[in-house]
């Protein structure tokens, strides 16, 4: 990779981290949601770095566009934007130690991957570039990945049922 490529990668990583921190530190839930939108968008640009434009645009359309709209709606729906988080919510006491353990585990895996000398730098000029065009995506989705695709359809169906059941007063 050239210097420019490294600089771009570092810059995007920093942006991604900063938006994630912004999300965690926002006192107002609407701002937190917007930081998450920013985070998803930076993620989309990182997908572009890995030559996956279809995934990048999908990330923006589905995550930044659709799912976060739901988040914003739900925050506004509950009037939750101004609520101060409860200090020690009952029933969630186990979450903090669990989060710490998981974070340490993740860091350990990342460190192991770095130290074990796994090849982290692809050789871009030599490796053949996989075809990432939408046409190729279509051939894969309806070829080798047909079963997962139909499972997704089932999942969406289940989600539809769930959404309606949850939104009703029972």
Partner 1 sequence: MPALLEITLKSTALVFVLLTSFAYLSLVERKFIARLQARIGPNRAGPFGLLQPVADGLKLIFKESITPAQVDKPMYFLAPVLVVVPSLILFAVIPVGKGPLFQLASDLNVGALYVVAVMGIAVYGITLAGWSSNNKYAVLAGLRASAQVISYELGMGFAIVAVVLMASSLSLADIVAAQYPGEYGGILGWFIFRQPVAAAIFVVAAFAETMRAPFDLVEAEQELTAGFMTEYSGMKFALFFMGEYVKMIAVSALFTTFFLGGWSGPFVNELPALSVVYFTIKVVVCLLAFIWVRASLPRVRYDKLMGMGWKVLLPISIENVLATALLIALGVPGFK
Partner 2 sequence: MQLASSKLRWFLAMADFVPVFILVLLSTGLALLVLLISVLFGPRRRAQNATKLMPYESGMRPIGVAQRRLPVRFYLIAVLFILFDIEVVFFYPWAAAFRALGWYGFANMLIFAALLLVGYVWLWRKGALEWESVDKS
CA distances from 29 to 24, 41, 72, 91 (A): 10, 19, 8, 22
Kindly write out the interface string for residues 134-163 of this chain, putting x where it contacts partner 1 by CB under 8 A and - elsewhere: xx----------------------------
> Does 80 help bind partner 1 (rule: CB under 8 A)?
no
Stretch that binds partner 2, among 16-24, 52-60, 84-92, 93-101 (CB under 8 A): 52-60
Which three-class secondary structure state does DSSP give residue 111? Answer: helix
> Does 14 help bind partner 2 (rule: CB under 8 A)?
no
Residue 60 near which of partner 2, partner 1, none (CB within 5-8 Å, type-dependent): partner 1
Please provide the size of the chain in residues.
170
Q: Based on CB atoms, which residue is closest to partner 1, 20 or 26?
A: 26
Burial of residue 57, with CB atoms counted within 10 A of its CB: 0-12 exposed, 13-18 middle, 19 or more buried: middle
Chosen residue from 10, 76, 80, 155 binding partner 1 by CB under 8 A: 76
Q: Single out the residue of 77, 56, 70, 65 nearest to residue 134, CA to CA.
A: 56
Cα–Cα distance between 34 and 42 in angstroms, integer? 12
Neighbours of 7 (CB within 10 A): 11
> Does 100 help bind partner 2 (rule: CB under 8 A)?
no
* Residues within the interface to partner 1 (CB under 8 A): 28, 30-31, 34, 37, 53-54, 56-58, 60-61, 64-66, 68-69, 72-73, 76, 133-135
């Amino acid at each position: 990779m050239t210097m420019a490529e490294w600089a771009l990668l570092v810059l995007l990583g920093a942006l991604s981290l900063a938006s994630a921190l912004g999300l965690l530190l926002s006192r107002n839930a609407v701002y937190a949601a917007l930081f998450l939108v920013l985070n998803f968008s930076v993620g989309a640009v990182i997908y572009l770095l890995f030559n996956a434009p279809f995934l990048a645009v999908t990330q923006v359309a589905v995550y930044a566009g659709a799912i976060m709209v739901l988040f914003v709606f739900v925050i506004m729906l509950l009037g939750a934007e101004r609520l101060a988080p409860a200090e020690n919510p009952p029933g969630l006491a186990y979450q903090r130690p669990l989060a710490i353990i998981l974070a340490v585990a993740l860091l350990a895996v990342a460190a192991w991957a770095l130290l074990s000398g796994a090849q982290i730098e692809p050789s871009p000029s030599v490796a053949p570039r996989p075809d990432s065009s939408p046409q190729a995506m279509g051939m894969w989705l309806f070829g080798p990945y047909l079963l997962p695709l139909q499972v997704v359809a089932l999942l969406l169906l289940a989600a539809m049922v769930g959404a309606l059941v949850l939104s009703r007063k029972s």
